[in-house]
Amino acid sequence: MNDQGGRDPMRQRRWTIFVALLALGATYILYSYARHGAAIASWLMGRKVEAEEGLGAWGDSFGALNVVISTLAFGGILITLLLQRRGLEEQSADQHRQRFDASFFELLRLQREARSELTFFNTPQFDTARAARSYQTFSLATTGRVPPDGKIDPIAAAVLEVHFQLIKKGILGSCSRHDVINAYMRNVHAASEATVAPYFRIIYSILDRLRADQILRPAEKVRYANMVRGQLSSAEVLLLGINSLTPISADMRSLVTEFRMLKYLPKSSMRVLLARFHDPVAFLGRDDPLPKPLIKPTAFNDKRYRAMIAALHAERKMLRLSRKKLAMKLGKPEQFVADYEDGRRPLGVADFVDVARALGSHPAIFLRH
């Protein structure tokens, strides 16, 4: 896993050669000064100096040279100690990587065991719809069709159950994050907590350890995360995306985003649903450019504007109008309502009047807020 493991020994060898050359150079300077001191003094003073002249002064001049040599020697010692420290740190890092590697694959093994022991049973309503083949006409949550009978993989069954519950309520295209959480908690978590919860805890432990590790390089963390994702089927990734939206998942959602766990999800209605509640980065490939940050219009900085939008939203909820139904009354796509309510685009004056009238109220009522 150490993609730069070969560079550090090479760098250490270069430093060793440099220190050795430095020591040889210092020795040569000392030898030359001792052997040719008179000639050097003549060259420096611009006149001929005999070796017998001022031998005492000439000998004293070695003191300055000794200082230089001592400084160079001290510098060489410091460099040697630094290289030794780096070598020990690299050795410690390599040992850490070996320990991490062993524990990582042990956690992967436990994750596969938890996967094999996972059980889930669909609700009677799902089984009835499945037996009547009525579920065949719904948008598919995962790739492939739902067989009318026979056993379904537990993970796929759990995803399909959430999908079915949202369809049954007629809110698949307009549901909120709260709706998805309720469908999951009531029909999956509550029914199979004993096996589903440990399964996700292991995945959380692996990703959380990856994020917290101070030794592994970013490229190494990416490779480990790719191994985790490579062990998951499309249905498992879908259920992971749903589970990470719930309060019980701690900060799993941020881990899913950081390691881009949703990037290989096939096109499906459930991927479209998850894309509404997850950061777009979670769906990007490692080489894909990051999306530009959303720059909200200046209108959103005005408290009066935000209060007006909040009043429109509250009125729609009180009337029990879904975003889709309100959009149909306005003759606009559902995304139009989602954009102005979620702050992705400002609501112009003409559109504001149309929305107020579609809600059965005079525009002035919402301006009071």
> Is residue 261 scored above 80 in pLDDT?
yes
The neighbour count for residue 177, using CB atoms within 10 Å, is 13
CA–CA separation, 88 and 110 (whole Å): 33
Of 215, 193, 293, 213, the closest CA to residue 259 belongs to: 213
**What is the 3 state secondary structure string of the chain?**
CCCCCCHHHHHHHHHHHHHHHHHHHHHHHHHHHHHCHHHHHHHHHCCCCCCCCCHHHHHHCHHHHHHHHHHHHHHHHHHHHHHHHHHHHHHHHHHHHHHHHHHHHHHHHHHHHHHHHCCCCCCHHHHHHHHCCHHHHCCCCCCCCCCCCCCCCHHHHHHHHHHHHHHHCCCCCCCCHHHHHHHHHHHHHHHHHHHHHHHHHHHHHHHHHHHHCCCCCHHHHHHHHHHHHHCCCHHHHHHHHHHCCCHHHCCHHHHHHHCCCCCCCCCCHHHHHHHHHCCHHHHCCCCCCCCCCCCCCHHHHCHHHHHHHHHHHHHHHHCCCCHHHHHHHHCCCHHHHHHHHHCCCCCCHHHHHHHHHHCCCCHHHHHCC
pLDDT band per the 50, 70, 90 thresholds, residue 239: very high
pLDDT band per the 50, 70, 90 thresholds, residue 102: very high
CATH number for the 298-367 domain, one of 3.30.70.380, 1.10.4160.10, 1.10.357.10, 1.10.260.40?
1.10.260.40
Domain ranges of the chain: 7-93, 124-283, 298-367
Q: What whole-number percentage of the chain has pLDDT above 70? A: 73
Asked if 273 and 175 count as a contact pair (C-beta separation under 8 A), the reply is yes
Name the residue with higher pLDDT: 281 or 20.
281
pLDDT tens profile 114-130: 999 988 988 888 888 88
Range in 23-32, 202-211, 225-234 with the lowest mean pLDDT = 23-32
Name the residue with higher pLDDT: 281 or 44.
281
pLDDT tens profile 162-185: 988 888 888 877 888 888 999 999
Of 167, 156, 154, 158, the closest CA to residue 186 belongs to: 158
Supply the pTM of this predicted model.
Answer: 0.60
What per-residue confidence (pLDDT) applies to 183? 93
Of 170, 166, 155, the closest CA to residue 122 belongs to: 155
What's the Cα-to-Cα distance from 18 to each of 13, 21, 73, 76, 78, rounded to whole Å? 9, 5, 13, 9, 13
What per-residue confidence (pLDDT) applies to 256? 93
Mean pLDDT of 16-22: 71
What per-residue confidence (pLDDT) applies to 333? 84
Range in 17-21, 91-95, 207-211, 286-290 with the lowest mean pLDDT = 286-290
Asked if 268 and 143 count as a contact pair (C-beta separation under 8 A), the reply is yes
46 φ, ψ (degrees, to nearest 5): 80, 10
Mean pLDDT of 29-37: 64
pLDDT tens profile 285-332: 766 665 555 445 555 667 788 888 888 988 888 888 888 889 889 988
What per-residue confidence (pLDDT) applies to 143? 41
pLDDT band per the 50, 70, 90 thresholds, residue 4: very low
> Is residue 72 scored above 80 in pLDDT?
no
Range in 223-232, 251-260, 285-294 with the lowest mean pLDDT = 285-294
Asked if 192 and 120 count as a contact pair (C-beta separation under 8 A), the reply is yes
CA–CA separation, 52 and 151 (whole Å): 107
